[in-house]
Amino acid sequence: MSDPTPPALPTAVVDPPRRFRIPLVWVIPIVAALIGLFLAGRTWYEQGPVVTLQFRTGAGLEPGKTRIKYKDVDVGQISTVRLAKDGSHVVATAQMAREAAPLLVEDTRFWVVSAKVSGSAVSGLDTLLSGTYVGMDAGKSSEARRDFVGLEDAPVVSLGVPGRSFALHADTLGSIDVGTPVYFRRIQAGQVTAFKLDDAGQHLDIQVFIKAPYDRFVTIDTRFWNASGIDLKLGAEGLQLNTESATAILAGGLAFETPPGGDTEAAPAGQDFRLFPTRAEALKQPSSNAQIWQLRFTETLRGLSVGAPVDFRGIQIGEVISISPDVDVDAADVGLQVDIAVFPERMQSRRDATQDMSEADFRAFVDRLIKRGLRAQLRNGNLVTGQLYVAMDFFPNAGTAKIDWAGQPPQLPTQRGSLDELQATLSRIAAKLDRLPLDDIAAETRRAIAGLASAVERTEALMQRLDGLASNEVRAAVAETQQTMAEARAAVADGRRLLASDAPLQQDLRDSLQELSRAAQSLRHLTDMLERNPEALLRGKPEEKP
């Protein structure tokens, strides 16, 4: 028996060293750390630049709470608020969002938004619930900026609104304020954005912004005027009332318009305009094209004022520009001079509008008009107010007159006013009345009236007596007439009763007629029988044969 084969030994296998394994207990902290790192990286990535804002006060600014909004979207938050080193203002540090970084440029504006109530507007009411926030208006500059000076008030117009700004110059501010609306044909077309007194203190510079598309209606010839409140004017044209809107009446407003025939090309941004006090003043013809004339009157000028119209048969061709006394010491005469401005364009016919008349031709033309009787006359424009105006009209019966072209300005001949002529006529009539023997006429009149009254009294007494006499006879006649009429009515009634179909008389009459008819028939039979048998008178009626 052989020995059993020993079992083969197992082959050794190299066991590589085992890798490092993280215990399960560390997994959760590591994941939490990774999430934290992710959030931190995300926060760092989303964080924008830090900006500093300077405000006059720190009212409404709370670190960690006050937000910064652009178009009602949160783009940042106030992180710190501190007082400046000199104590003149407040410096706030704000952490902006990453997407707001391109908006932080040179002309970007910041302001504090809170609830405000002014005379023309109420704003920021939503901050009563949400709290005060800082508004931002992105600029258009390409230069980045990180420190800004905040505005004290919210800008009236955002930088992104299309339109153009213009400058107005006025003597007084009136009721104009920042935000005052600007109207074009009673449509709000813009707002006042700013105003300031000029360096010399002579007038005010007012900045207005006209939004598109209304800004294209502002041309070089456009006129701006103050449309605030109610423009009530009592002049030679009567009572005039001009208003723009209820807002303009309460809070003020401006308006603009281009006169007919003005330039139609849009004015460039920043163009300067004069701000007129009223629409009438704004739309007047420019004085540079006016002809200045002088008039001399001897009657009173009470009711004539500077600005009164110069009228030619209903068309205003000019206005009164000055009134002054004219004293002639040598002639011991005192008159009144009235200087007027006449606009030749308004006297030019339409077909000759494009033709320019030379100075010599114009003077010859005026001389011919004077020769035909053209005169200036004061007329009453309003009987209630007594306002006067200057009328240019023809007076064929006026005396000979010439215009003195050497005078500066030339003097036009005048005609006494119609009211003055009326007063003179009334004075002459009053003088004639004064010469009449009014006392004698009055005495005669009183005597005539007394005689007339006496005659009237006698006539009335006579009429009363006649009335008393006539009244008894009339009453008796009336009584008799009434009695006769009653009898007549009774007779008519009796006749009606007699003629009625069921009246007894009618029945008796019918019976009588029937009896009479029967008697006539019997008589006719008797007559026939006697004609046939005359002997019947002696022998009697013969017997009838069967």
**What's the confidence (pLDDT) of residue 91?**
92
Of 6-15, 48-57, 336-345, the range with the highest mean pLDDT is 48-57
pLDDT > 50? residue 1:
no
Please give the pLDDT value at position 387. Answer: 79
Residue 524 has a pLDDT of: 72
Mean pLDDT of 47-63: 88
Chain centroid to CA 245: 8
Mean pLDDT, residues 235-249:
62
Mean pLDDT for 488-499 is 67
Write out pLDDT tens, residues 387-405: 788 888 888 888 888 888 8
Q: For residues 336 and 521, which has the higher predicted lDDT (pLDDT)?
A: 336
pLDDT at 514: 76
The pLDDT value recorded for residue 35 is: 92
Residue matched to tokens 């849009």: 266
**Helix or strand run (H / E) with residue 457:** helix 438-498
Which is more confidently placed, 103 or 518? Answer: 103
Which pLDDT score, from 0 to 100, does residue 522 have?
73
Q: What does the buried/exposed string (b/e) look like for 340-379 if buried means 16 or more CB atoms within 10 Å of the residue's CB?
A: bbbbeeeeeeeeeeeeeeeeeeeeeebeebbeebbbbbbe
Local confidence band at 462 (pLDDT 50, 70, 90 cut-offs): confident
pLDDT at 489: 74
Cα–Cα distance for residue pair 396/527, rounded to 1 Å: 124
Residue 345 pLDDT > 80: no
**Burial bucket for residue 316 (CB in 10 Å: 0-12, 13-18, 19+):** middle
Chain mean pLDDT for the chain: 79
What is the DSSP code (8-state) at residue 347?
G
Report the share of the chain in percent with pLDDT over 90.
Answer: 5
Indicate if the pLDDT at residue 4 is higher than 50.
Answer: yes
Q: What is the DSSP letter of 144?
A: B
Task: Give the pLDDT band of residue 14 (cuts 50, 70, 90).
Answer: confident
Q: Can you give the pLDDT at residue 396? A: 83
Residue 6 has a pLDDT of 66
- What's the whole-number mean pLDDT along residues 19-36? 80
Q: Averaged over 219-230, what is the pLDDT? A: 81
Neighbour count for residue 326 (Cβ, 10 Å): 14
Q: What is the pLDDT of residues 504-539, one digit of tens each?
A: 656 766 777 777 777 777 777 777 776 777 666 666
The mean per-residue pLDDT over the stretch 412-416 comes to 86
Q: Which residues pair with 68 in a beta bridge?
A: 76, 134
Q: Which of 39-43, 112-116, 185-189, 282-286 has the lowest mean pLDDT?
A: 282-286
- Residue 93 has a pLDDT of 92
Q: Say yes or no to pLDDT of 146 above 80.
A: yes
Distances (CA, A) of 357 to 65, 316, 323, 400: 76, 21, 30, 26
pTM of this structure? 0.50
Residue that the structure tokens 């006050």 belong to: 66
Question: What count of residues does the chain have?
Answer: 546
What is the distance between the alpha carbons of residues 141 and 105, in angstroms, rounded to a whole number? 6
Mean pLDDT of 95-111: 88
Asked if the model's pLDDT at residue 203 lies above 80, the reply is yes
- The pLDDT > 70 percentage for the chain reads 78
> Would you state the pLDDT for residue 495?
61
CA distances from residue 243 to 172, 214, 409, 454 in whole angstroms, order as listed: 20, 20, 38, 68
The whole-number pLDDT of residue 537 equals 62
Q: What is the dihedral of CA 330, 331, 334, 335, to 10 degrees?
A: -110
